[in-house]
DNA sequence: TCGAATATGTTTACAGCGATAACATGATCA
DNA sequence: TGATCATGTTATCGCTGTAAACATATTCGA
């Protein structure tokens, strides 16, 4: 039923109409109400799927990088690249506010980020860790959004220069 | 005519309908087409106004802080606070992509940011300056968006701890 | 095995949206 | 004075999300 995922890859979120999904699924518009109470619920299901996908990609990147600052940077680059590769889905994930998830802090992606930070800043206070998480998340999220909104070019070299192990290491 | 600005302060962007603006202005829906070619143009005009307002607030904050890292941090905090104080307007500004403006890099807000960075990182190479701009803009933009989307609490103390002069100074 | 409950689909209808077209009216200016 | 232009109107179109009433096929307890 979540084949509306396909439509998200070819059109922005705001163009994703219930009726278009139904049409492309070869079913009547109101049939979707047998599976979701309303449009918001359908979008939330798609968002959950997207969040899982993001988490999986980050997990893979972190593991491949071998730990420490390299993994930390890899997680960040993966975050931005995911956004660029799936603009509508990424927007949807972020605008749905992880509402389906138990708690924002327990989502897979969040846990990964926290682990990376804890790994890199081992020995720091709990407060310092939290601030480091916010700075890292903020930076990659901001970079992603600015690129999606066309304020920055979706330049791969730019991503790498901004999210760089040497920077991660230097900034306390 | 831009009294649709008021509506942006009490409702999210996606709820800002042409007809609602017309209704609240006491005019027929189609009358707006005498002033703007379409809805997008009207939103763009509102966005331009918002961008100017953001630039003005940053200018004031930068001047009041007295220069250097203090001004840099003040500009960042102002950016985030503006977003929290005008959620719908901020979203609109960012989603409209400064399209009315000559060039993204010539908008007032952008020039201010660049100046701050150049002031703080005096002596650095052009490339380093650019990366520093991206990191700073990304971090504050990400922080703002994450708070607007409900992933982080709109906590004033959190803003100050993340955007802090000592951090700005330390990070090269 | 039969009958009811459930899941899943349908058609019809409604109000709200952005947008276009045709028309009215007042101010402005040659 | 008379044409032009700025600004408003109403009527209409196709799109949207959603609700209601109805049909049918599957499932499951007696």
Tell which of B137, B141, B152, B163 to mutate to test the A interface (max A CBs under 10 Å): B141
Angle between the B126-148 and B87-95 helix axes, to the nearest 10 degrees? Answer: 130
Q: How confident is the model at residue B168 (pLDDT cuts 50, 70, 90)?
A: confident
- Measure the CA–CA gap between A86 and A91, rounded to whole angstroms: 8
Q: Roughly how many angstroms between the first and final C-alpha of chain A, as a whole number?
A: 46
A94/B145 Cβ within 8 A: yes
Q: What is the pLDDT of residue A4?
A: 60
Q: Give the model's pLDDT for residue B100.
A: 59
Rg (CA), chain B: 18
Q: What is the mean pLDDT of residues B114-140?
A: 94
Does position A6 have pLDDT exceeding 60, yes or no?
yes
Question: What is the pLDDT at residue B106?
Answer: 54
Distance B40 CA to C27 C1' (A): 29
Q: Torsion over CA of B57, B22, B15 and B3, rounded to 10 degrees?
A: 10
> Across the interface, which of A131, A134, A151 has its CB nearest the CB of B97?
A151
Residue B101: per-residue pLDDT: 58
Q: What percent of chain B has pLDDT over 70?
A: 90
Q: Is the CB of A30 under 7 A from strand D?
A: yes
What is the residue-averaged pLDDT of chain A?
90
* B141 contact residues in A (CB cutoff 8 A): 138, 141-142, 145-146
Across chain B, what does the average pLDDT equal? 90
pLDDT at B77: 98
Distance B34 CA to C29 C1' (A): 21
Cβ-defined contact of B138 to A135 (cutoff 8 Å): no
Q: How far apart are CA A1 and CA B98, in angstroms?
A: 38
In the prediction, which pLDDT does B171 show? 56
Q: Nearest CB to B138: which of A149, A162, A170?
A: A162
Query: What pLDDT sits at residue B8?
Result: 78
Predicted pLDDT at A167: 85
pLDDT higher at A110 or A57 = A57
B10 DSSP 8-state letter: T
Query: Residue A31 CA to D21 C1' — how many Å?
Result: 14
Res. A8: pLDDT tops 60: yes
* Residues A6-12, mean pLDDT to the nearest whole number: 83
Place A64 in a pLDDT band, splitting at 50, 70 and 90. Answer: very high
Query: What's the pLDDT tens digit per position in A93-104?
Result: 999 867 655 555
Higher-pLDDT residue of B5, B155? B155
Question: Could you read off the pLDDT of A79-134 as tens digits, one per residue?
Answer: 999 999 999 999 999 998 676 555 555 577 778 988 999 999 989 999 999 999 99
Contact check, Cβ <8 Å, B97/A149: yes
- In whole angstroms, give the CA distance from residue A128 to residue A117: 10
Asked which of A6-10, A34-38, A92-96, B144-148 is least confident by mean pLDDT, the reply is A6-10
List chain B residues with CB under 8 Å of A127.
161
pLDDT (mean) for B55-70: 95
């Amino acid at each position: 039923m979540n084949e509306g995922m396909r439509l998200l890859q070819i059109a922005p979120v705001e163009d994703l109409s219930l009726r278009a999904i139904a049409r492309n699924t070869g079913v009547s518009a109101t049939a979707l109400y047998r599976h979701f109470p309303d449009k918001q619920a359908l979008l939330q299901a798609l968002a959950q799927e997207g969040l899982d996908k993001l988490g999986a990609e980050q997990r893979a990147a972190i593991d491949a990088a071998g730990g420490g600052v390299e993994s930390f940077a890899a997680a960040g680059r993966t975050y931005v690249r995911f956004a660029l590769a799936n603009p509508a889905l990424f927007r949807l994930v972020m605008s749905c506010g992880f509402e389906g998830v138990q708690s924002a802090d327990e989502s897979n992606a969040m846990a990964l980020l926290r682990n990376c930070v804890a790994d890199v800043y081992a020995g720091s206070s709990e407060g310092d860790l939290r601030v480091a998480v916010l700075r890292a998340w903020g930076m990659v999220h901001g970079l992603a959004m600015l690129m999606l909104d066309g304020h920055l070019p979706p330049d791969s070299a730019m991503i790498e220069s901004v999210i760089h192990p040497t920077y991660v290491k230097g900034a306390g």
